[in-house]
Amino acid sequence: MKVKKYVAPSMQEAMKKIRAEMGNDAVILNSKMVQTGGFLGLFSKKMIEVIAANDPDVPSKKIDQKKETYQSMIETSELKENKQKLHISSNNDSLLHEIKEMKALLQHFSVTENKDIYPNLLQEMQNKMMKQDIPELVRATIMGSLLEYWYQEKGQLTFEQIKQQQEEILYEMLAGIEFGGISYQKKFINVIGPTGVGKTTTLAKLAAECVIQKKKKVAFITTDTYRIAAIDQLKTYAKILDVPLEVCYSIEDFKNAQRRFSAYDYIFIDTAGRNFLDSRYVKDLMNIIDFEHEMETFLVLSATAKSVDMIAVYEQFSIIPIDKLIFTKLDETSTRGTLLDIMLQTKKGIAYTTHGQNVPDDIETASREKIVNQILR
């Protein structure tokens, strides 16, 4: 058994070193952030310390191997400091403790690229999550919990039981995040977002629901003066729904529209689609719309976009109070992992999802159960 400690600037760099020296069958035993260098505690640099092991006599290691493997690992000099934490014994409690150690590790890193690391049913679940583009660190967290559950039940589980446990794990991960549509507690309902995500069509769907189902008196305000087609599109929806529309070019126009529509129940606001990776466009938006007024704001994102781009857009809009998210174009993608990724990173729930251009159809109010079902479908 070969055990060695590696220190690197990032986990990726550490993994490169481990694979180069130990191969792809290496197993990570422990990892932690450490401070290196500096003077009197100043100017130190964060590094990651990883302890890895490999047995050249055994071609592949699975997490459910005999616990003698772990016992031999902790007897090495590199792991003596952790021996008191593990207390390996012959009873089931020690084995569960080992699995919890592995679970904590899996919550941060993939242990190995070996696809046979999990029992067959768990590996099937892992493959399904990969197909849904669920982020690696989120998958690792889920698989760590499933692995612990597997050993607690001594592997006597059906696929349906594992799936149910997986759903419970996701429910717990999304705890505290609010889902659901318009609260109807505020007079102004605003949609913001980058170009091409379908804000105007989504706004029309929301307004149609308010007019047709809620029987409320509704008006439109648009600040999208950059595209004539956008104004014409909203005018068409306004005519169909028989609601007034005001075009605003400045904050003064917006306040005048507020006064004009003071007798209406709800005012739906359409904003310009711009490249909001440029922060100046968000500031331009704030020069037109009075966000200090009673307003419920939804950030509209396309489910077909990359997570990194959506997070960048969200960060640009973070100076504006965002209540919830709306994901469009679910009919144009077969994966749902990005929805989970964005919610976990922003701590914002989903209000609606859309899956087509038909107004007032092709929109669905989101709930935690519906979203989890879509992600794990």
**Domain span at residue 366?**
188-375
Residue 64: which pLDDT band, with cuts at 50, 70 and 90? very low
**Mean pLDDT (whole number) for 13-25:** 80
Distances (CA, A) of 337 to 8, 83, 133, 288: 30, 38, 5, 35
Same domain, 205 and 340: yes
Quick check: 323 pLDDT over 90?
Answer: yes
Proportion of the chain above pLDDT 90, given as a percent: 37
> Do 237 and 350 reside in the same domain of the chain?
yes
Look up the CATH number of the domain holding residue 225: 3.40.50.300
What's the DSSP call for residue 331? G
The answer to whether 173 touches 343, Cβ cutoff 8 Å, is no
pLDDT classification of 314: cutoffs 50, 70, 90: very high
193 and 319 within one domain: yes
Is the domain of 194 the same as that of 75?
Answer: no
Contact status, residue 202 vs residue 300, Cβ threshold 8 Å: yes
Q: Given this model, what pLDDT does residue 188 score?
A: 93
Please, what is the Cα angle at 316 between 312 and 321, to 5 degrees?
Answer: 125
| pLDDT tens digit sequence for 86-124 | 444 445 565 565 555 555 555 544 444 444 467 888 888
Determine, yes or no, domain membership for 255: yes
Q: Give all strands of the β-sheet with 27-36 in edge-to-edge order.
A: 2-8, 45-54, 27-36
Q: How far is CA 80 from CA 54, 72, 77, 103, in A?
A: 17, 11, 5, 21
pLDDT of residue 70: 39
Q: Are residues 83 and 192 in the same domain?
A: no
* Residue 289 falls inside a structural domain: yes
pLDDT band at 60; cut points 50, 70, 90: very low
pLDDT for the residue numbered 152: 84
Q: Are residues 205 and 348 in the same domain?
A: yes
Residue 195 belongs to a domain: yes
Q: Answer whether residue 245 is part of any domain.
A: yes
In a domain, 150, yes or no: no
335 in the same domain as 211: yes
pLDDT band at 21 (very low <50, low <70, confident <90, very high): confident
Q: What is the count of structural domains for the chain?
A: 2
My answer on whether 229 and 363 are in the same domain is yes
Would you state the pLDDT for residue 39?
Answer: 56
Res. 268 pLDDT band, cuts 50 70 90? very high
pTM of the entire structure? 0.68
Q: What is the pLDDT of residue 204?
A: 93
Residue 18 is predicted with a pLDDT of 82
Mean pLDDT is highest, among 134-148, 209-223, 277-291, for 209-223
Q: In terms of domains, do 199 and 324 share one?
A: yes
CA angle (143, 145, 149) in 5-degree steps: 110
Average predicted confidence (pLDDT) for the chain: 80
Question: What would the mean pLDDT of 192-209 be, rounded to a whole number?
Answer: 91
- Could you tell me if 225 and 366 lie in one domain? yes
Residue 63 or residue 232, greater confidence: 232
Q: Is the pLDDT of residue 199 over 50?
A: yes
pLDDT of residue 94: 59
342: in domain: yes
Please indicate, yes or no, whether residues 214 and 335 belong to a single structural domain of this protein. yes
Q: 């913001």: which residue's tokens? A: 192
Domain boundary among 37, 71, 88: 88
Choose the final residue of a domain: 58, 88, 118. Answer: 88
| Residue 294 C-beta-side C-alpha neighbours within 13 Å | 10
pLDDT at 65 over 50: no
pLDDT at 135 over 70: yes
pLDDT number for residue 56: 58
pLDDT digits (tens, 9 = 90+) for 164-198: 999 999 999 999 999 999 999 999 999 998 888 98
Average pLDDT over residues 123-128: 89
State residue 358's pLDDT score.
Answer: 82
Last residue of a domain, one of 65, 88, 111: 88
Once rounded to an integer, what is the mean pLDDT over residues 128-152?
A: 87
pLDDT digit string, tens, across residues 26-57: 766 666 777 776 655 555 677 878 777 775 55
- Rounded Cα gap, residues 114 and 118, in angstroms: 9
For residues 353-360, average pLDDT = 86
Q: Give yes or no: residues 82 and 217 share one domain.
A: no
Q: What is the CA radius of gyration of the chain?
A: 26
* Domain membership flag for residue 107: no
Position 44 in a domain: yes
